[in-house]
Homo-oligomer: A and B are copies of this chain.
Amino acid sequence: MVPIDILSFTRTRPVARTPKEITDAELTVLEALWERPRATVRELAEALYPDGGASQTATVQKLCERLEAKRCVARDKRERPATYRATIDRAALIGRHLRGVADRLCAGSFTPLLTHLVESGEISDADLQRLRERVANLDEGGAPPPREERE
């Protein structure tokens, strides 16, 4: 609640609520959008709630609104009915989450995440092989590719 002491104005509390990532229901909608270039709310609702009615459609509408606020989808109002399309793909969403973890736990650095993954023992030999090639390529390239979107 952050009570504010008028005189001493301390503000030393752990209080910190971070913005909030994408929620489960939102992700479901987003995934449906990833499967098509664009879609109307109705189409999405029919896909997600096979035998849903008007209220389910409204639910999807609301989720789309919230996704738009989070810049995960864009709406084309010129179409009738309006269509939505994803503005972030799975890889970028992964990146967003990864950044969240890094910011929260590693002072923003990706390196500890990388270390953990490599040592997790959950990367297959084939993937390790690919990784090795990729790392090798990056090495000679020198300048890494530019960063993607990011908000």
Q: Report A's interface with B, CB cutoff 8 A.
A: 1-4, 8, 10, 12-18, 24-25, 27-29, 31, 47-52, 63, 90-91, 93-95, 97-98, 101, 104-106, 109-125, 127-129, 131-132, 134-136, 138-139, 144-147
Residues of the B chain whose Cβ atoms lie less than 8 Å from the Cβ of A17: 24
Interface centre among A4, A14, A28 (most CB of B within 10 A): A14
Can you report 6 residue pairs joining A to B where beta carbons are below 8 Å apart? A14-B29, A14-B63, A97-B105, A111-B127, A120-B147, A121-B146
Q: Are B28 and A1 interface neighbours, CB within 8 A?
A: yes
Within the oligomer, what is the number of copies of this chain?
A: 2
**Known A14-B28, A104-B27; contact A8-B120, beta-carbon cutoff 8 A:** no
Q: Are B111 and A124 interface neighbours, CB within 8 A?
A: yes
Taken together as a complex, chains A and B put the C-alpha atoms of A127 and B73 apart, in Å, by: 35
Chain B nearest CB, measured from A138 CB (Å):
6
Across the interface, A118 reaches (CB within 8 A) one of B2, B14, B138, namely: B138
Q: Are A114 and B114 interface neighbours, CB within 8 A?
A: yes
Q: Are A119 and B94 interface neighbours, CB within 8 A?
A: no
Taken together as a complex, chains A and B put the C-alpha atoms of A146 and B120 apart, in Å, by: 8
Across the interface, A117 reaches (CB within 8 A) one of B93, B114, B119, namely: B114
**Known A3-B48, A28-B3; contact A117-B98, beta-carbon cutoff 8 A:** yes
Residue of B nearest to A119 (CB): B145
